[in-house]
Amino acid sequence: MAWTGYQKFLALMMVVTGSINTLSTNWADQIHSKGSDGQERLFNHPFLQASAMFLGEILCLLTFKLIYFKTRNTGGHSLTQGSQNFNPFILMPAAMFDLIGTSIMYIGLNLTYPSSFQMFRGSIIIFVAVLSTTFLDRYIIRREWVGIANVTIGLVIVGLTDALYQSPGETKGRNSLITGDLLIIVAQVVSACQMVYEEKYVSGLNIPPLQAVGWEGVFGFSVLSVLLVIFYWVPAPPHFGHNPRGTVEDAIDGLIQIGNSPLLLFAVMGTIVSIAFFNFAGISVTKEMSATHRMILDSIRTLVIWVVSLAVKWQVFHWQHIIGFAILIAGMCEYNGILPRCSFRRAPEDQDRVVNTEADRLEEA
């Protein structure tokens, strides 16, 4: 069935804004700007960047409210359909998982390549599947085990390439790359907890996805704002505090750096706006087409990020990345049942997917 013009627009918006989100966040990490002590340094404020991401999610709630009030007398809109009879605080634990996972990911992004960052986010399939068998009493079928195995092999290839192959002109050291990749994997464990929690406690409430993302943004931003004050006074471990105070996070220094650099301000605004449009486009793609289409488009986003990173020389080309990326995507497709089946009969258990939460919520950045 041919795509409509609106569906093509949504697909393009998802790929473009999703790519911009990761690239703009990494771009901010490459910009030098004067800080609170008058010295120029790289912008290294992962927790402040995480708060910017939550601001973008809050824009989703504002968008929901705008659509809701505009269409409530005309039958409503597909993006606002769902129950309004729920306690928003049911989303608080999910927001806390999101806060922890996003903050760790942004620390990892500062240490590794944008393309590796995006590829390692695919490991969430593994952790969602494992946690679902424990907390959701799901059964992993053979096809999904094959997909998980392929994803694992692809990630191992990407990780070993980052760890073993260092070419002249590399902007990041081996230890930095290994640490960054490991942190991203840890973040995926936390994000998997978020998805399993949402499936167990939130999915049955029929909350409109755009509204749920917005409320998580409100809770995440509120709690992180308090943590930024606390982190301003907490001494950082060795090799972590890269701000004048040597603390876990110096938000004031970060804001001063943003104010002193129009380019840095533009990059941070790119993170805020792109995550809002990306969530909107992703949810719309799921509603207009399917979660499978959303997963495929997110894979294209990974390819775009990798190509752009090579073009602007944020990383050096390694042909092993191509192999790892190909196996990773093949595993994700196998896990989600996209690859054509060789047999004519389909196993009955294939009708009951173990985990489609990952495909439903590929997002976020």
pLDDT tens-place string over residues 64-104:
999 888 888 887 777 888 888 889 999 999 999 999 999 99
The confidence score (pLDDT) of residue 34 equals 93
Residue 344 lies in a domain: no
Q: Is the pLDDT of residue 353 over 80?
A: no
Q: Would you place residue 344 in the very low, low, confident or very high pLDDT band (cuts 50, 70, 90)?
A: very low
Q: Tell me the mean pLDDT in the region 19-29.
A: 91
Domain that holds residue 280: 5-35+43-79+86-339+349-360
The confidence score (pLDDT) of residue 246 equals 86
pLDDT tens-place string over residues 108-120:
888 888 888 888 8
CB atoms within 10 A of CB 300: 15
Q: Would you place residue 169 in the very low, low, confident or very high pLDDT band (cuts 50, 70, 90)?
A: low
Rounded Cα–Cα distance for residues 122 and 151 (Å): 7
Please enumerate in sequence order all residues whose Cβ is within 8 A of that of 230, keeping only pairs 6 or more positions apart, or say none: none
Rounded Cα–Cα distance for residues 193 and 184 (Å): 14
Residue 309 lies in a domain: yes
Rounded Cα–Cα distance for residues 196 and 132 (Å): 6
How many structural domains is the chain composed of? 1
Residue 112 lies in a domain: yes
Buried/exposed code over 172-197 (b: 16+ C-beta within 10 A; e: otherwise): beeebbbbbbebbbbbbbbbbbbbbb
Rounded Cα–Cα distance for residues 18 and 46 (Å): 18
Residue 290 lies in a domain: yes
Residue 189 lies in a domain: yes
Which residue is associated with the tokens 């990630």?
Answer: 155
Measured at the alpha carbon of residue 103, what is the angle toward residues 99 and 109, in degrees to the nearest 5?
Answer: 145
Q: Tell me the mean pLDDT in the region 152-181.
A: 79
Listing DSSP states for 68-93 in one string gives HHHHTTTT--GGG-S---S-GGGGHH
The confidence score (pLDDT) of residue 132 equals 87
Residue 365 lies in a domain: no
Residue 265 lies in a domain: yes
Contacts 24+ apart (CB under 8 A), 138-141: 138/354, 138/355, 139/349, 139/352, 139/354, 140/354, 141/347, 141/349, 141/350, 141/354
- Alpha carbon separation from 196 to 94, 107, 192 (Å, rounded): 9, 24, 6
Residue 75 lies in a domain: yes
The confidence score (pLDDT) of residue 361 equals 46
Rounded Cα–Cα distance for residues 81 and 166 (Å): 51
Grouping H, G, I as helix, E, B as strand and the rest as coil, residue 239 is coil
Rounded Cα–Cα distance for residues 146 and 170 (Å): 34
Buried/exposed code over 144-170 (b: 16+ C-beta within 10 A; e: otherwise): beebbebbbbbbebbbebbeeeeeeee
Q: Tell me the mean pLDDT in the region 19-37.
A: 91
Hey, what are 37's tokens?
A: 């002590």
CB atoms within 10 A of CB 231: 17
DSSP at 235: B
The confidence score (pLDDT) of residue 124 equals 86
pLDDT tens-place string over residues 204-224:
788 888 888 899 999 999 999
Rounded Cα–Cα distance for residues 14 and 7 (Å): 11
